[in-house]
């Protein structure tokens, strides 16, 4: 297969920094919510590029400590004095601009106040941007593609929504090459501010319905995102996803289709799944490329890999280089991460917080360990999502032998009357699950697991909130011999 390459030469600055003709005299960038997973990666890149970065967050963490060690000035808590001297104030979508004392002070002082996505869009304009979008799989796909482009000696800059083992346990890599690979998050429609040259759409489902009116609104946003790619760019889309397949007639840019469906341009088959690894073969544009190896499980990770393979092939990266990049990928924190294997009990943690993700995680666990008792521990994330999708969540636990539901992790939201984790627990019972228990506080989880765990169990903690911490507390007690 002759690789398709972009037809335009992309100019970049000599040092990779954001050019002064765009940023003018901007040197001091203040970031509200700097400790968040999206903001911290951006802050790291700006620090490497020589900008004076300050920030604030509700609490300090290992992430903020890392940024401080790189030269950032970070305040715990928010105060108007923190923005002194700033040329621009950047805030995360988790922050309400009109409710935050720092953003309000900046507006009153006529200092530009912008969302994270707007800053990311400016950074992308200076590079060949590759945006990875989709309801699920963004972080893993972005990281896989980043590994491949690194192994192709293209030295990309990468920003992902999770800590990566091979990225020195951080979520950003600063490269000197022309490529910027980022997650394109649909929350708050932020991905519509980006200007990628190449894009991936992994899947499209009803999500963030506190922002979107309905699934049709979500679909149209993804169509708009895909069609923002320039005429010389390309969009890789997953034909295994029925919603994405239905949108293909509305995409106006060059497409590469990928999937486990034989009709795909980049087709994966002969998938061999093991507990913590997967192998599969690929045919791309009719050309056999051989066997690819992953150190992560599940069909969903094969699809993520096929997305990365599609873009890499379009850039002319040799198949053998792609294979090496994927083999080097050893996972992302909180993505089917093994936390403990002790005294006959295996503990795995996953970021799954949508019904499809929960079901896929449990399916992978059942395939890898069919003979173990599988205990699913789920912390619902967001009151709105819990209210809107309780029935779907309830139906997602079919591959678990025992289900534990905790209270809701609110994140950015205020409580909604009558909405608790018990909605999900009740829905699981209504779906016919024979063993469901509701804990109205996640703090009780470690003791509950100590009482019920036995040799041969596989325990999976799932959710986008703090559930992993309670799993870790259980692991500490279990490894300490507590029974």
Q: How confident is the model at residue 14 (pLDDT cuts 50, 70, 90)?
A: very low
Residue that the structure tokens 């765009």 belong to:
22
Q: Catalytic residue among 139, 140, 190, 197, which?
A: 139
Q: Do 361 and 423 fall into the same domain?
A: yes
The number of distinct structural domains making up the chain is: 3
- pLDDT score for 390: 93
- pLDDT score for 10: 34
- pLDDT score for 379: 96
196 lies in some domain = yes
- pLDDT score for 24: 52
Q: How confident is the model at residue 376 (pLDDT cuts 50, 70, 90)?
A: very high
- pLDDT score for 73: 93
Residue that terminates a domain, selected from 304, 328, 352:
328
- pLDDT score for 185: 86
Q: Do 244 and 306 fall into the same domain?
A: yes
Q: Do 279 and 372 fall into the same domain?
A: no
Residue 71 belongs to what domain range?
Answer: 25-115
Q: Do 75 and 131 fall into the same domain?
A: no
Q: Which residues pair with 266 in a beta bridge?
A: 258, 284
Q: Do 350 and 314 fall into the same domain?
A: no
84 lies in some domain = yes
- pLDDT score for 25: 67
Cβ–Cβ < 8 Å for 373, 411: no
Residue 261 has φ and ψ, to the nearest 5°, of: -85, 130
Q: Does residue 273 carry a pLDDT above 90?
A: no
Across the chain, mean pLDDT equals 89
Question: How far is residue 440 from each of residues 34, 353, 421, measured CA to CA in Å?
Answer: 31, 18, 7
9 lies in some domain = no
Q: Catalytic residue among 183, 207, 357, 422, which?
A: 183
Q: Do 94 and 133 fall into the same domain?
A: no
Q: Does residue 150 carry a pLDDT above 90?
A: yes
User: Does 139 qualify as catalytic in the annotation?
Assistant: yes
Q: Does residue 483 carry a pLDDT above 80?
A: no
Q: How confident is the model at residue 3 (pLDDT cuts 50, 70, 90)?
A: very low
Q: Do 131 and 111 fall into the same domain?
A: no
Q: Do 156 and 181 fall into the same domain?
A: yes
- pLDDT score for 38: 82
- pLDDT score for 13: 40
6 lies in some domain = no
CATH number of the structural domain spanning residue 231: 3.40.1190.10
Cβ atoms < 10 Å from Cβ of 414: 6
- pLDDT score for 2: 40
Q: How confident is the model at residue 318 (pLDDT cuts 50, 70, 90)?
A: very high
The whole-number average pLDDT for the span 322-332 is 90
301 lies in some domain = yes
- Angle among Cα 407, 420, 453 to the nearest 5 degrees reads 35
Q: Do 298 and 157 fall into the same domain?
A: yes
Q: Does residue 368 carry a pLDDT above 80?
A: yes
Q: How confident is the model at residue 163 (pLDDT cuts 50, 70, 90)?
A: confident
Cβ–Cβ < 8 Å for 395, 403: no
Choice between 16 and 254, residue whose per-residue pLDDT is larger: 254
Q: Does residue 286 carry a pLDDT above 90?
A: yes
144 lies in some domain = yes
CATH number of the structural domain spanning residue 53: 3.40.50.720
User: Does 104 qualify as catalytic in the annotation?
Assistant: no
Residue that the structure tokens 């049709």 belong to:
216
Q: Does residue 6 carry a pLDDT above 60?
A: no
Q: How confident is the model at residue 21 (pLDDT cuts 50, 70, 90)?
A: very low
140 lies in some domain = yes
Q: Which residues pair with 29 in a beta bridge?
A: 53, 88
Range picked from 96-100, 412-416, 445-449 for highest mean pLDDT: 445-449
Report DSSP letters for 138-193, one per residue. HHHHHHHHHHHHHHTT---EEEEEEEEGGGTTEEEE--SSSEEEEE---GGGGGGG
Residue that terminates a domain, selected from 269, 296, 328:
328
- pLDDT score for 165: 67
Cβ–Cβ < 8 Å for 423, 340: no
User: Comparing C-alpha atoms, which of 185, 476, 171 is closest to residue 335?
Assistant: 171
Q: Do 208 and 288 fall into the same domain?
A: yes
Cβ–Cβ < 8 Å for 227, 253: yes
How far apart are alpha carbons 350 and 379 in whole angstroms? Answer: 11
Q: Does residue 340 carry a pLDDT above 70?
A: yes
Residue that terminates a domain, selected from 286, 303, 328:
328
Cβ–Cβ < 8 Å for 318, 150: no
156 lies in some domain = yes
User: Does 138 qualify as catalytic in the annotation?
Assistant: yes
Q: Catalytic residue among 127, 138, 193, 323, which?
A: 138
CATH number of the structural domain spanning residue 360: 3.90.190.20
- Angle among Cα 11, 13, 14 to the nearest 5 degrees reads 115
The whole-number average pLDDT for the span 244-251 is 96
Of 11-15, 231-235, 391-395, minimum mean pLDDT range: 11-15
Q: Do 363 and 450 fall into the same domain?
A: yes
Cβ–Cβ < 8 Å for 148, 322: yes
Q: Does residue 295 carry a pLDDT above 50?
A: yes
Range picked from 235-239, 349-353, 358-362, 417-421 for highest mean pLDDT: 235-239
Q: Do 345 and 376 fall into the same domain?
A: yes
- pLDDT score for 20: 46
Q: What is the dihedral of CA 421, 462, 243, 181, to 10 degrees?
A: 130
Q: What are the strands, taking DSSP E only, across 330-441?
A: 337-342, 345-350, 373-378, 402-405, 436-438
């Amino acid at each position: 297969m002759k690789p398709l390459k972009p037809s335009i030469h992309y100019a970049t600055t000599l040092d990779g920094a954001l050019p002064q003709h765009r940023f003018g005299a901007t040197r001091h960038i203040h970031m509200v919510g700097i400790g968040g997973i999206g903001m911290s990666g951006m802050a790291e890149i700006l620090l490497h590029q020589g900008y004076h970065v300050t920030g604030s967050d509700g609490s300090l963490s290992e992430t903020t400590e890392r940024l401080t060690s790189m030269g950032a000035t970070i305040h715990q808590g928010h105060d108007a004095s923190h923005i002194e001297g700033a040329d621009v104030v950047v805030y995360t979508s988790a922050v309400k601009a009109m409710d935050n004392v720092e953003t309000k002070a900046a507006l009153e002082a006529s200092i530009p106040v912008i969302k994270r996505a707007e800053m990311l869009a400016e950074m992308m304009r200076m590079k060949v941007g590759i945006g990875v979008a989709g309801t699920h799989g963004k972080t893993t796909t972005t990281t896989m593609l980043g590994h491949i482009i690194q192994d192709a000696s293209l030295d990309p800059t990468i920003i992902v929504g999770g800590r990566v083992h091979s990225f020195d346990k951080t979520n950003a890599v600063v490269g000197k090459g022309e490529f910027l690979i980022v997650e394109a998050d649909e929350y708050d429609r932020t991905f519509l501010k980006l200007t990628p040259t190449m894009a991936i759409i992994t899947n499209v489902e009803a999500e963030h319905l506190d922002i979107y009116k309905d699934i049709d609104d979500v679909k149209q946003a993804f169509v708009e995102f895909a069609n923002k790619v320039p005429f010389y760019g390309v969009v890789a889309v997953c034909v295994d996803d029925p919603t994405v397949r239905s949108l293909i007639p509305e995409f106006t840019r060059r497409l590469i289709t990928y999937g486990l469906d034989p009709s795909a341009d980049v087709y994966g088959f002969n998938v061999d799944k093991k507990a913590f690894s997967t192998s599969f073969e690929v045919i791309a544009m009719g050309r056999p490329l051989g066997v690819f190896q992953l150190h992560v499980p599940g069909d969903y990770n094969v699809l993520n890999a096929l997305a990365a393979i599609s873009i890499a092939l379009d850039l002319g990266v040799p198949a053998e280089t792609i294979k090496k990049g994927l083999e080097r990928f050893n996972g992302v924190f909180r993505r089917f991460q093994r936390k403990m294997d002790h005294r006959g009990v295996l503990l795995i943690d996953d970021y799954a917080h949508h019904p499809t993700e929960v079901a896929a995680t449990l399916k992978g666990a059942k395939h890898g360990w069919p003979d173990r008792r599988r205990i699913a521990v789920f912390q619902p994330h967001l009151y709105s999502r819990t209210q809107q999708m309780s029935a779907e969540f309830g139906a997602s636990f079919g591959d678990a032998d025992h289900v534990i539901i905790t209270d809701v992790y609110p994140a950015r939201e205020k409580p909604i009357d009558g909405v608790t984790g018990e909605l999900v627990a009740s829905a699981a019972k209504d779906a016919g699950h024979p063993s469901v228990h509701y804990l109205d506080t996640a703090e009780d989880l470690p003791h509950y697991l100590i009482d019920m765990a036995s040799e041969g169990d596989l325990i999976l903690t799932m959710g986008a909130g703090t559930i992993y911490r309670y799993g870790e507390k259980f692991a500490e007690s279990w490894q300490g011999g507590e029974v």
